[in-house]
Structure 1
Amino acid sequence: MSEIFWQIVAIVFLLLAALVIGLLWLRYRRTTIIFDYQRGLKYVNGQPPELLEPGRYSYFSHNTRMESFDMRSILLQISGQDVLCRDKVGIKVSLSATYQIEDPRILMAGYEDYYDHLYHHLQIALRDTMATMELDEALDDRNSIAQAISLALKPDFMPGLKVTTVEIKDLMLPADLKKVYADVVKARKEGQAALERARGEAATMRNLANTARMMEKNPELLKLRLIQTMESTQGNTYHVALGSKPSDTVGTSETE
């Protein structure tokens, strides 16, 4: 009887042990999937990380940590940065940049938060670039700002990461400067319109003068002009001047 009792106790103990092990397994076991566009880092007991290729990985969380990194191009936007131009005019500039992670191990070994470092580098590059340009230069060619920022970011400025593109999105002027530039543009457009009107009037006068000289040299052209006018009116009232003399003037005529 006692032997059976101890067998039952042993079985119960084994079942309890298996249950505890199973609970611990479920509690600490983790599964991570690294997708095709990602790479992973696996840290075990604080040792240098292992680079993981795409796949499915299981590990125990009590001594292991895993991180995944997107290897595609990532967009970073910096909005409304107050900067000073070389002529001491303050404006707000917004830019966007795309970057790509090249080596997660180097990046994580070198920076506590690589995103904040990249943001900071772009801010400084933007301020340094705008400090070398006058406002009119910046407004006329914003692409030159982006090119200067890209040159300021040397290829190895952040090991393990590269910036692929930099673009200037907006240049925002203060309200008083907006009004000044609007007045300048308005005056420029009004001057262009007046110049075009003057050119049109001058061209019209030249055409009239040329026509007058042609008519004076070739009186027969007046008769041809009269015939063309009579054909085009088709019964409507017309007035045709054949010459400067009153006797040569044909008055109003109606075709019945």
Structure 2
Amino acid sequence: MAELFVSMFFLVLVFAVIFLLMGLRIVSEYERLVVFRLGRYVGERGPGIVYIIPFLERAVPIDTRVITIEVPTQETLTRDNIPIKVNAVVYYRIINPGRAVVMVMNPHHATFQLAQTTLRSVVGQSDLDELLAHREAVNSRLREIIDEGTEPWGVKVSTVEIRDIELPAGMQRAIAAQAEAERERRAKIILADGEFQAANRLVDAARLISQDPNAIILRYLQTLREIASERSTVIVFPINLEAAFQGILGSMRPAPSPPSAPAEGEPPIRPE
């Protein structure tokens, strides 16, 4: 009788140990366990060592790390009726594991479908120029719309990026021609502005030279010096250089001071 009692005691002890070990779970730092007791949501557990009552409680593991999904290429029309192909990348994470399990069957699939339909909708409401020149604004609008739709599921969308925009061949040629015309327009404006500034400088130089007749002679000599740098150049002087030099030297001499008046009582000074 005692042996039977001891055997039953050890058997119960073994079952108790097995029962306890069946409920032990090790939860990683990036995971949470959504626990249901008899079908009723009772909370979240983890990270670390977590105990789940066997046969009474059920745990659903949820990964809380950032997840990346790639929205496949969507073919749609822009607001200005241009057919394009566009794809995107969505970065999101589950911030409320309980709602992600209770409110939606598959939060990842639901987020993917919402991102796909939202991408087509936002692209259809935007012009081609807006998609090409203001892509950051379009990305921000996509993120706000998708995040608003996934908020009841406990999913937080952090970033949405449009990756590629594929245009028809004819539209690519039109955009290239437009860009080339824009570059030519800028080049002509810069050239005209340079000519305008040069003309103003020439007018100022002519006005300065006109104030002194001898300045044109100096400018003429400077031009001759530049021409004489070529060995095969023959220079003909069409002006009287001697008279020009005399005029220049005369203008550079200081004017004679007038004779001072004699003092009172002194005889005037007569030239000899």
For normalisation by structure 2, the TM-score amounts to 0.65
Partner of 1:83: 76
The 8 Å contact of residues 96 and 166 in structure 1, kept in 2 or not, is answered as yes
Match of 1:4 in 2: none
Is 1:209–2:210 an aligned residue pair?
no
Distance 1:182 1:47, change over 3 A: same
Aligned with 2:160 (options 147, 156, 166): 166
Asked whether the equivalents of residues 40 and 69 of structure 1 are also in contact (C-alpha less than 8 Å), the reply is yes
Given that 1:83 and 1:90 are in contact with CA atoms closer than 8 Å, whether structure 2 keeps it comes out as yes
CA contact (8 A) 2:88 2:163 kept: yes
Residue in 1 that maps onto 2:248: none
Structure 1 residues 109-148: Cα deviation after superposition (integer angstroms, max 9, x where no partner): 1222111111111222222222222222322322332233
Pick aligned residue for 2:131 from 113, 129, 138? 138
Conservation of the 8 A alpha-carbon contact between 1:49 and 1:105: no
CA contact (8 A) 2:70 2:90 kept: yes
Q: Where does residue 98 of structure 1 map in the other structure?
A: 91
Q: CA deviation at 1:108?
A: 0.8
Aligned to 1:246, the other structure's residue is in SS state coil
Structure-1-length-normalised TM-score:
0.68
Q: Is the counterpart of residue 56 in structure 1 residue 49 in structure 2?
A: yes
Contact 1:43/1:50 (<8 A) preserved: yes
Alpha-carbon separation, structure 1, partners of 2:45 and 2:190 = 69
SS in 1 for 2:79: coil
- In structure 2, the CA distance between the partners of 1:42 and 1:218, relative to structure 1 (3 Å rule), is same
Q: Deviations over 1:130-178 (max 9, x none)?
A: 2222222322322332233244346364412222333333322122211
1:181 lines up with 2:188 in the alignment? no
Equivalent-residue separation in structure 2 for 1:182 and 1:61 (angstroms): 68
Question: Any idea what SS the aligned residue of 2:71 has?
Answer: strand
Q: Determine if the alignment matches structure 1 residue 152 to structure 2 residue 145.
A: yes
Over 4 Å off, 4+ runs = 27-30, 43-47, 58-65, 220-229
> Which structure is larger by alpha-carbon Rg, 1 or 2?
2
Of 192, 202, 214, which aligns to 1:198? Answer: 192
Q: 1:177 to 1:62 in 2, by over 3 A?
A: farther
Amino acid at match of 1:111: V
Distance 1:66 1:225 in 2: 98
- Encode CA deviations 1:76-110: one digit per residue, 9 max, x unaligned: 43243222112221112233333232221111112
1:123 aligns with 2:128: no
Task: Provide the alpha-carbon RMSD of the alignment.
Answer: 4.2
Q: Percent identity?
A: 25
The size of the alignment, in residue pairs, is 234
Change (3 A) 1:65 1:228: farther
Report the CA distance shift for 1:72/1:220 in structure 2 as closer, same or farther (over 3 A): farther
Aligned residue identity for 1:180: A
Unaligned ranges ≥5, structure 2: 231-236, 245-272
Structure holding more strand per residue: 1
What SS does structure 2 have at the residue aligned with 1:215?
helix
The alignment partner of 1:97 has SS state of strand
Q: CA deviation at 1:181?
A: 0.7
Q: Distance in 1 between matches of 2:138 and 2:241?
A: 72
In 2: Cα distance, 1:87 partner to 1:57 partner: 57
Partner of 1:3: none
**In the superposition, relative to structure 1, how do residues 29 and 215 fare at CA in structure 2: closer, same or farther (>3 Å)?**
same
